[in-house]
Amino acid sequence: MPPITGRNTPEPYNLRNFSVLLVEDSIYMQTLVSEMLRVFGVGDILTCANAKEATDLLTIAQARTTSRYINKIDILLTDWLMPNGNGKDLLNWVRTHDNDDIRFLPIIVISGFTTEKLTNDTRDLGANEILVKPISGKLLASRICSVIDSPRAFIDAPGFFGPDRRRQYFAFTGKDRRSAVPNLVEKNI
């Protein structure tokens, strides 16, 4: 039977033009995840071992005018627990940065911790997705597709900057007690 290739079957994503920064201190995991990204067809894969190296690289990469040799990074994949600057430090740095190309960057946190606190912490620090280890091809692919397919609006509120923490919207029938109407800003990001 011939393969189904009708108009309604979307083609698989081609990530050739994507540049992904992977921040992972374990050489073993760094090698594995970067190889998986390569198999997925990601065109440009950069790796760092800690938050400090990542911030240096992001500063150069996102200020595209200063370097012809590094592409602008599209997705940041970071481990949570690392010596010399961990995932929390990196999220804080990214989401409070002045440069829009940095602070709006999609971030996927990879972590071996599976606690509710970690999920809440990463969400409240502005991560787009969390990928809990052990990693698999399907899990990594689903998180990448999620940041591509569902770019949630960014919320800038006192004490928080990051993707909207609500993934579902329900009609609210109670009294509206919000003190301010959110200011809707369209952004070319």
Partner 1 sequence: MTDEPNNENPAINVYSHRQNPLKNKLGIRVPTNEDGHLDPENIKEADKLIAKMCLGCEDNIAQQLEKIADLWTDMQKAENTDIRNEKAQEIFTCTHEIKDIAALCGYTLAAHFAESLRDYISETALNLKNQRIIIQAHIDAMNAVHKGKLKEDGGPIADELKKMVKIAINKYR
Interacting residue ranges for partner 1, rule: CB under 8 A = 10-15, 17-18, 25-26, 28-29, 31-32, 35-36, 39-41, 74-75, 81, 83, 104, 106, 112, 133-138, 140-141, 144-145, 147-151, 153-158, 164, 175, 177-180, 182-189
Q: How far is the CB of 189 from partner 1 (least distance, A)?
A: 6
Q: What are phi and psi of 48, to 5 degrees?
A: -140, 160
In the complex with partner 1, which residue's Cβ is closer, 35 or 124? 35
Q: DSSP letters of 49-109?
A: SSHHHHHHHHHHHHSGGG-SSSPPP-EEEEES--SSS-HHHHHHHHHT-S-HHHHT--EEE
Q: How far is the CB of 67 from partner 1 (least distance, A)?
A: 19
Q: How far is the CB of 66 from partner 1 (least distance, A)?
A: 20
Q: 25 near 82, Cβ under 8 Å?
A: yes
CA-based end-to-end distance of the chain: 44
In the complex with partner 1, which residue's Cβ is closer, 52 or 133? 133
Q: 82 near 49, Cβ under 8 Å?
A: yes
In the complex with partner 1, which residue's Cβ is closer, 93 or 104? 104
In the complex with partner 1, which residue's Cβ is closer, 66 or 84? 84
CA pseudo-torsion sign 30, 33, 38, 42: negative
In the complex with partner 1, which residue's Cβ is closer, 64 or 145? 145
Residue 167, number of CB atoms within 10 A of its CB:
9
In the complex with partner 1, which residue's Cβ is closer, 66 or 151? 151
Q: How far is the CB of 120 from partner 1 (least distance, A)?
A: 18
| Pairwise CA distance, residues 114 & 126, whole Å | 18
Q: How far is the CB of 156 from partner 1 (least distance, A)?
A: 4
* Nearest in space to 159 (alpha carbons), one of 108, 184, 124: 124
Q: How far is the CB of 31 from partner 1 (least distance, A)?
A: 7
